[in-house]
């Protein structure tokens, strides 16, 4: 039904009405496979303008997967819930996932519609996922390089980091012929004009296009004074809701503690809450704002993105234009009359002093006492941010430098380096305990953790003489897990610290408070491992494993046809030959297991095996993945003319266990006839002319691959690497499902006349 449904019908079924003008225009562009920039006011349905046409056009003119990047975890949950509810009305078989630090629902990016943070998107693109061990990084990378990328709430991105990184990924999408979507309410003209000049469709909304904004009247008033408790008491409406927006958490906590109101519900919301408490407060607050006559929210910048509530009166501290416009978007959000009072500040933090002073002057000269609608908001943003955004858009050298630095982060697999190119991360992770040395490694990982600005933490250390330990987690994906503790008097971004509770307290309704005595945090209950990473890992012959991987390949390519089409385009092979290329890669990925030493350690004298239970191993097996890539490298010469692309394919095979393996040990492969028979069948099926004698059957000395990782600066070869890597690893994983579908009972094989049963292993153990 969805394939033949019109955009208008889709909106009618979900909303019971016609799409807004900007939604219809954006949908038409996307359905034709074009990129789109949408600039529209708060609450105007930008999300639907991207998601609905994607669902109508995917696999045809659009990629089969949408990666929808948002700035905050709370917004991800909110938008994903809303879209799930709407799409459930149509009973559509659409896989929706949430992927962020507090909810790693889809780390391999398998679902159709993935709501995630920009950090997760960039990490996935760079084969350095933030929610997976680095050695699994090329699985989500294959999705990131081939999906429809949408970046929403772009105005919130760090201008010198996240915004430039986004532009780098958009340029890569354009080079590959993939469409993208960019959306925001407060983008200056200089930003959208740059896209127009490149031939990209820019869709703009107006207040008149959105019914609930047509009768919206918000008056802005400059108070010329600092915000105090008496101001809140004075401006609380007799019958309505009030929002108080502070620039710092400490200021918001102070006002909340001093405000004594028993007649109406008062809520505090900021960034220093544990996720469970923030979710609880937000749900109660939204219910009160919707159902009760009076309610009060004291908050910070967290209200600027995705907080879907409406107040009658807003009291806000002075801030830059984009922040103020977003805050005011919560005033009379559902229409009607609203008042916004802007208060002066003593200190500009966390904003730039010069920009804040310009904002103050503009408000006094041009906005004080005026009705502020969409046109005046854009004038405000254009006047103060236009030049800065124009410089960013014209900074091609800066983007090249950013791409090079992302390439370095990808080469190293450095998660911190990836994140540092999204935002100027000045936060550290903290937990609270009086005796952290008594905690085990699993307990320490399961402790509740909070992000705190290191400047705030450093001031608290000095002012309150906090007792603090630095935690050094000394582990890797395959090694022993441990941590070391040492007393610390300074703190740094990214690092992990434990605070003694004698001078720090956590309050479920106020958040983290410095200078007051509190209690220990305690480890959360162990969460059961999700089934997605568990496979029944029992004994299996090499031939059976390869055949099951090839069966899985048919399922994967059927599910992800656009990835195969993109691979065909990049390798200049027709569709059938590109599919054959993948079949060769999948068939050859475990060629290194035919190393005689590998089979001898298992005690194999007859038919070679691919897997046995780990408990049956008496010695460590030598690496096999890099041998597979090295041994098969020359057989691709006959149909992949580009040396760089051939090496990308070799790396994809070599990295099907770890994304940065490069050392090739000495080896000798056996069972040639078995390999020849298998590969001849594949070559015949896909009409490939391959010289199988080019396989390198032995290597007498250790060596290394030509390069251990593809250059991210080369979009064609990097994309081929990511696509082929993802498909090999998905087929390897899903081959277990293929086996289990065909075998109802436990499979037993004889190895040296000893019966080997089944065992469980996770993907990380392979």
Class of domain 20-209: alpha beta
Q: CA angle, 459 as apex, 458 and 462 as ends, to 5°?
A: 90
Burial 706-745 (b: 16+ CB within 10 A, else e): eebbbbbeebbbbbbbbbbbbbbbbbbbbbbebbeeeeee
Looking at residue 475, its pLDDT comes to 45
**pLDDT exceeding 70 applies to what percent of the chain?**
92
**CB 506, CB 513: distance < 8 Å:** yes
Residue 358 has pLDDT above 80, yes or no: yes
Looking at residue 530, its pLDDT comes to 46
Q: Which of the pair, 102 or 49, is modelled with greater confidence?
A: 49
**CB 668, CB 698: distance < 8 Å:** yes
Q: Read off the pLDDT of each residue in 600-608 and give the average, rounded to a whole number.
A: 88
Supply 689's token pair.
């002319």
Looking at residue 3, its pLDDT comes to 55
Phi, psi of 656 (to 5 degrees): -80, 5
CATH architecture under which domain 532-765 falls: Orthogonal Bundle (1.10)
Cβ neighbours for 113, distance < 8 A, ≥ 6 positions apart:
51, 54, 55, 65, 66, 68, 83, 94, 95, 96, 97
- Do 20-209 and 215-372 come out as alike in CATH topology? yes
Question: pLDDT, tens digit, for every residue of 465-504?
Answer: 999 999 987 644 334 567 889 999 898 877 889 999 999 9
Q: d(Cα 72, Cα 66) in Å, to the nearest integer?
A: 18
Tell me the three state secondary structure of residue 723.
helix
When mean pLDDT is compared across 85-89, 293-297, 398-402, the lowest value belongs to: 85-89
Residue 749 has pLDDT above 60, yes or no: no
Supply 42's token pair.
């708060």
CA 240 to chain centre: 38
Nearest to 13 by CA among 64, 43, 52: 52
CB count within 10 Å of CB 189 equals 17
Residue 59 has pLDDT above 90, yes or no: no
Would you identify the CATH topology of the domain 215-372?
A: Rossmann fold (3.40.50)
Question: pLDDT, tens digit, for every residue of 691-708?
Answer: 889 999 999 999 999 888
Nearest to 637 by CA among 710, 691, 718: 691
Residue 96 has pLDDT above 70, yes or no: yes
**CB 109, CB 140: distance < 8 Å:** yes
Q: Which of the pair, 29 or 740, is modelled with greater confidence?
A: 29
Phi, psi of 564 (to 5 degrees): -65, -40
**CB 707, CB 630: distance < 8 Å:** no
Q: Which of the pair, 611 or 298, is modelled with greater confidence?
A: 298
Question: pLDDT, tens digit, for every residue of 439-454?
Answer: 988 888 889 999 898 8
CB count within 10 Å of CB 476 equals 11
pTM of the model: 0.86
Q: d(Cα 723, Cα 729) in Å, to the nearest integer?
A: 10
**CB 605, CB 753: distance < 8 Å:** no
Average pLDDT of the chain, as a whole number: 87
Report residue 742's pLDDT band, with 50, 70 and 90 as the boundaries.
Answer: low
Hey, where are the domains in the chain?
20-209, 215-372, 427-514, 532-765
For residue 332, what are the CA distances in angstroms to 213, 218, 219, 314?
9, 7, 10, 9
When mean pLDDT is compared across 27-41, 93-107, 313-327, 458-472, the lowest value belongs to: 93-107
Q: Read off the pLDDT of each residue in 612-634 and give the average, rounded to a whole number.
A: 84
């Amino acid at each position: 039904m969805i394939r033949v449904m019109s955009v208008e019908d889709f909106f009618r079924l979900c909303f019971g009405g016609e799409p807004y003008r900007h939604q219809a225009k954006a949908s038409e562009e996307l359905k034709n496979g074009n990129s789109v920039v949408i600039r529209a006011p708060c609450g105007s349905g930008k999300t639907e303008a991207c998601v609905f046409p994607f669902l109508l056009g995917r696999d045809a003119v659009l990629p089969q997967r949408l990666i929808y990047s948002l700035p905050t975890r709370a917004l991800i949950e909110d938008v994903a819930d809303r879209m799930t509810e709407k799409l459930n009305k149509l009973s559509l078989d659409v896989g929706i996932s949430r992927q962020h630090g507090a909810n790693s629902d889809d780390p391999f990016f398998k679902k159709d519609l993935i709501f995630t943070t920009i950090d997760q998107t960039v990490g996935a693109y760079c084969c350095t996922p933030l929610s997976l061990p680095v050695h699994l990084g090329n699985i989500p990378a294959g999705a990131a390089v081939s999906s429809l990328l949408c970046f929403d709430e772009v105005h919130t991105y760090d201008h010198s980091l996240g915004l430039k990184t986004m532009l780098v990924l958009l340029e890569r999408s354009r080079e590959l012929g993939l469409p993208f979507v960019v959306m925001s309410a407060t983008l200056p003209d200089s930003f959208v004009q740059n896209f127009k000049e490149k031939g990209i469709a820019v869709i703009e909304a107006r207040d008149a296009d959105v019914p609930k904004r047509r009768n919206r009247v918000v008056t802005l008033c400059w108070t010329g004074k600092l915000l105090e408790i008496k101001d809140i008491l004075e401006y609380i409406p007799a019958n309505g809701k009030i929002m108080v927006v502070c620039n710092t958490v400490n200021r918001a906590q102070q006002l909340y503690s001093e405000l004594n109101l028993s007649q109406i519900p008062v809520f505090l919301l900021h960034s220093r809450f544990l996720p469970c408490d923030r979710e609880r407060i937000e749900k109660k607050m939204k219910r009160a704002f919707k159902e009760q006559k009076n309610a009060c929210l004291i908050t910070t910048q967290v209200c600027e993105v995705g907080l879907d509530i409406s107040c009658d009166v807003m009291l806000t501290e002075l801030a830059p234009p984009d922040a103020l416009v977003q805050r005011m978007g919560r005033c009379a959000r559902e229409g009607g009359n609203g008042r916004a009072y802007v208060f002066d500040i003593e200190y500009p933090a966390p904003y730039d002093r010069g920009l804040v002073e310009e904002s103050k002057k503009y408000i006094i000269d041009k906005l004080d006492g005026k009705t502020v609608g969409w046109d005046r908001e854009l004038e405000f943003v254009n006047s103060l941010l236009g030049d800065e955004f124009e410089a960013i858009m014209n900074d091609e050298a800066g983007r090249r430098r950013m791409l090079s630095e992302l390439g370095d982060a990808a080469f190293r697999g450095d998660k911190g380096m990836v994140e540092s190119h999204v935002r100027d991360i000045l936060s550290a992770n903290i937990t609270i305990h009086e005796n952290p040395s008594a905690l085990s490694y699993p307990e320490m990982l399961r402790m509740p953790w909070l992000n705190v600005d290191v400047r705030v933490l450093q001031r608290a250390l000095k002012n309150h003489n906090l007792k603090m330990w630095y935690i050094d987690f000394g582990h890797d994906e395959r090694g022993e897990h441990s941590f070391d503790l040492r007393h610390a008097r300074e703190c740094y971004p990214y690092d992990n610290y434990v605070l003694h509770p004698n001078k720090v307290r956590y309050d479920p309704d106020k958040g983290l408070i410095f200078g007051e005595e509190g209690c220990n945090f305690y480890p959360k209950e162990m969460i059961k491992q999700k089934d997605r990473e568990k496979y029944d890992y029992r004994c299996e012959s090499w031939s059976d494993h390869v055949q099951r991987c090839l069966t899985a390949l048919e399922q994967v390519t059927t599910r992800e046809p656009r990835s195969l089409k993109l691979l065909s385009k990049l390798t200049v092979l027709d569709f059938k030959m590109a599919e054959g290329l993948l079949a060769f890669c999948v068939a050859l990925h475990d060629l290194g297991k035919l190393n005689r030493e590998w089979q001898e350690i298992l005690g194999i004298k007859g038919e070679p095996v691919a897997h046995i239970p780990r408990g049956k191993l008496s010695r460590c097996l030598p690496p096999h993945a890099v041998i597979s890539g090295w041994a098969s490298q020359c057989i691709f010469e006959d149909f992949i003319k580009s040396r760089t692309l051939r090496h990308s394919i070799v790396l994809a095979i070599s990295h099907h266990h770890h994304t940065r393996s490069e050392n090739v040990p000495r080896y000798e492969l056996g069972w040639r006839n078995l390999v020849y028979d298998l590969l001849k069948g594949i070559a015949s099926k896909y009409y490939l002319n391959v010289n199988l004698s080019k396989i390198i059957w032995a290597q007498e000395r250790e060596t290394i691959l030509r390069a251990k990782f593809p250059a991210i600066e080369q979009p064609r070869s990097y994309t081929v690497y990511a696509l082929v890597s993802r498909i090999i690893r998905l087929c390897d994983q899903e081959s277990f499902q293929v086996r289990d579908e065909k075998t109802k009972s436990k499979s037993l094989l004889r190895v040296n006349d000893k019966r080997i049963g089944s065992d469980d292993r996770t993907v990380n153990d392979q």
